[in-house]
Copies of this chain bind each other. A is one copy, B any other.
Amino acid sequence: MTTDFNVAMSGLNFRTPLLTGSGTFGYGDEFLSLIDYAPFGGIVTKSLSVRPRPGNPPPRICETPGGGVINSIGLANPGVEAFLAEKAGILPVKETKVFLSIFGETVEEFVTVMSRLETLEGISGYELNLSCPNVKQGGISIGGDSSAIAETVRECRNITDKFIAVKLTPHHTQVAPLAEAAAKNGASALTMINTLVGMMIDVETRMPLLGTVTGGYSGLPLKPVALAKVWQASKAVDIPIWASGGIVNGLDCIEFLLAGATGLQLGSVLFADPYSPGRILEEMDDYCRRHGVKSVEELIGALEKP
């Protein structure tokens, strides 16, 4: 490959723009025997909360026609203490940059989790999940309110110098106030977007396909929504944008870069095609060669005016 994939973001250098989407790559160890981690600029781990969360009643995953996936995991995780005791050792900090995703129902919970995680070595930063559709409190409701976002980010910034990405929901009418609230209070990047709220019904049994009725809608159908939000967010703020939503190939990545993204998260695609990171870099390289692009940084925000 001849393209330069390095991207710089808020003081960190990433060897490629590729990242994982939180919750689709566990704590980073499960895929070690299957794939090479070199194509990743970094990985984002499953969201951690103060207390253990068993997660939602199953079934927790279903598909939609047209390449969609809906999940209702419900942020199942062992809680920050059990994580530190049992799982922190498995983080692939040698293989790639690691960003720990944090979830809280209140600002204090975000701060508590982060201050415990600050004790770890080798971590590059955090992603604040202000947008989970699968829990009743926190997440999506904090994430819809710019003053709650501002406070959460500010309090977290107070206790760390590391990279903080803030992940937002697409369920808002205007992205600018939310994006600005994050950017002005110390966010290093915005992750656009978490899943949409979706639902499926089996008409034969009259039952919803998920135990919680609704869940988080990801995969191909999310891409046009994510693109719009990445573009709007990149107009609203100067910090880098991490794109999340429906990326399955290299041309999807090019679209997101043109729309203004700097980081590119692979989410559900890792289930279908865990080998996608390598393939996607090759597809991007192919595009860049055909278009005389030397470095992917040239593409960021390079959308032509209509």
Contacts and interface: CB of A to CB of B under 8 A. Distances in A.
Interface in A206-242: 206-208, 210-214, 217, 220-221, 223-225, 227-229, 231-232
A201 B144 contact: no
Contact of A201 (B64, B214, B258): B258
Interface string A115-144: 000000000000000000000000011011
Interface in A259-306: 259, 287, 302-304, 306
Given A196-B196, A213-B306, A258 B203 contact: yes
Contacts of A141: 173-174
Contacts of A65: 67, 220
A208 B306 contact: yes
B173 A255 contact: no
Contact of A228 (B198, B205, B302, B304): B198
A231 B213 CA distance: 9
A154 to B, nearest CB: 21
A174 to B, nearest CB: 7
A251 interface: yes
Nearest to A65: B220
B211 A306 contact: yes
A15 interface: no
A5 B213 CA distance: 27
Interface stretch (A80-88, A89-97, A164-172): A164-172
A207 to B, nearest CB: 5
Contact of A173 (B143, B205, B232, B304): B143
Contacts of A201: 227, 255, 258-259, 303
A203 B68 contact: no
A161 to B, nearest CB: 31
A207 B57 contact: no
Contacts of A213: 231, 303, 306
Given A210-B306, A225-B198, A172 B174 contact: no
Given A68-B221, A206-B303, 11 more contacts: A141-B173, A143-B173, A169-B173, A170-B171, A197-B228, A198-B225, A199-B224, A201-B227, A206-B304, A213-B231, A217-B225
4 A-B pairs with least C-beta separation: A221-B221, A198-B224, A66-B66, A144-B173
Interface of A: 57, 59, 64-68, 70, 140-141, 143-144, 169-174, 196-201, 203, 205-208, 210-214, 217, 220-221, 223-225, 227-229, 231-232, 251, 254-255, 258-259, 287, 302-304, 306
24 contacts: A57-B306, A64-B221, A64-B223, A65-B220, A66-B68, A66-B221, A141-B173, A141-B174, A144-B172, A169-B173, A170-B171, A170-B197, A171-B171, A171-B172, A172-B172, A198-B224, A198-B227, A201-B255, A206-B304, A207-B303, A211-B306, A213-B231, A214-B232, A221-B221
